[in-house]
């Protein structure tokens, strides 16, 4: 579901504390959510890197919370450009710190590293609610799963 969703909702926080939610395209690679944003989301992430990526397919819901980091470097940015090309049939060119569309638009690239994921399936709703916590430390690389609220 995470990899195949066509549209994701990115929720950031403005400097004055207001929530800011926008739809965008993105890909899941290397256990992270990769995206670019030319609107205010990118600026907000520079101030506060905490964000949430949410999606719903039918009655199934997934919400991923974590921290975003700016992606710099042609090799890393190519991860997003190549993934978007395959998933959306949309060509992006790359530079050291941005992706560029054929229409002359450009945007910085970000990677959200999950720290907590919530999900529930269909009409079972809260009965199927599950939370996964991912350690911030890279030592174990393991997630703990907690079922229920």
Higher pLDDT, 140 or 128: 128
The domain tally of the chain equals 1
Where residue 3 falls among pLDDT bands split at 50, 70, 90?
confident
Decide if pLDDT at 140 tops 60.
Answer: no
CATH number at residue 116: 2.30.110.10
Residue 81 lies in a domain: no
Residue 46 lies in a domain: yes
Residue 80 lies in a domain: no
**Per-residue pLDDT tens over the stretch 50-76:** 999 999 888 889 999 999 999 999 999
Residue 101 lies in a domain: no
Contact at 8 Å (CB) between 117 and 132?
yes
Range of the domain at 14: 8-72+108-147
Decide if pLDDT at 123 tops 80.
Answer: no
Residue 23 lies in a domain: yes
At 59 the pLDDT is 84
């Amino acid at each position: 579901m995470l990899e195949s969703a066509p549209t994701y909702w990115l929720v950031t926080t403005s400097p004055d504390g207001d929530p800011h939610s926008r739809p965008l395209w993105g890909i899941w690679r290397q256990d992270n959510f990769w995206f670019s944003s030319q609107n205010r989301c990118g600026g907000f992430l520079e101030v506060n890197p905490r964000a949430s990526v949410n999606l719903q397919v039918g009655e199934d819901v997934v919400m991923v919370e974590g921290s975003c980091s700016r992606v710099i470097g042609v090799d890393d940015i190519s991860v997003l450009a190549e993934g978007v090309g395959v998933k959306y049939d949309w060509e992006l060119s790359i530079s050291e710190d941005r992706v560029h569309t054929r229409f002359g638009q450009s945007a910085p690239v970000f990677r959200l590293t999950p720290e907590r994921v919530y999900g529930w399936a269909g009409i079972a709703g809260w009965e199927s609610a599950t939370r996964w916590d991912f350690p911030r430390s890279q030592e174990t690389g393991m997630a703990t799963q907690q079922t229920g609220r």
